[in-house]
Amino acid sequence: MESENVPSSIVQFAQLDKLLSLGRANSLWPMTFGLACCAIEMMCTGGSRYDISRFGAEVFRPSPRQSDVMIVAGTINKKLELAVKTLYDQMPEPKWVIAMGNCAISGGPFKVKENYNVVEGADKLFPVDVYIPGCPPRPEALLEGIMTLEEKITGTRRWPRV
């Protein structure tokens, strides 16, 4: 992921930046934003068995102003579009977006020619960092997505890929 090391500001504080990103990566605060089925798997990930707090990402914040990663867990439709955009804009920098599930990636099962109401992918609205396929993805997949995001932030992976 070395190529992803884009300077985040004009003035670089090499070691401090690294330290900050390490801190950010290990304490991602996701926004509580369940849209549909994937939200239940997101709840499972936060629940007893999968325990997302092992990765420091258990602090689900209902307010976009307190969170730094938005997990788009579900279908975005034309009526909700504006609300999701507003929420993204309200999040403070630096911010990341995880598109969880096929609906958030491309519209999933609703990307058909009769589609009159579903936005075909969250990336039509704002940049997405990590895509997690599945309908819905398993909690393990969401954990893997979080680790991929950590890798993107710090440039190193928490532990080797299996």
User: Could you list the residues that contact other proteins (CB under 8 A)?
Assistant: 32-37, 39-41, 43-44, 47-49, 62, 64, 74-75, 77-80, 83, 87, 109-110, 112-118, 135-136, 138
To other proteins, the closest distance from the beta carbon of 154 in angstroms equals 29
The smaller minimum CB distance to other proteins, of residues 1 and 83, is found at: 83
The smaller minimum CB distance to other proteins, of residues 142 and 153, is found at: 142
CA distance 89 to 159: 32
To other proteins, the closest distance from the beta carbon of 72 in angstroms equals 12
The smaller minimum CB distance to other proteins, of residues 64 and 149, is found at: 64
- Give the sheet arrangement for strand 96-100, strand by strand: 30-31, 69-73, 96-100, 130-132
List, in order, residues 6 or more apart from 38 with CB less than 8 Å away.
73, 74, 100, 101, 103, 104, 136, 137
SS3 127: coil
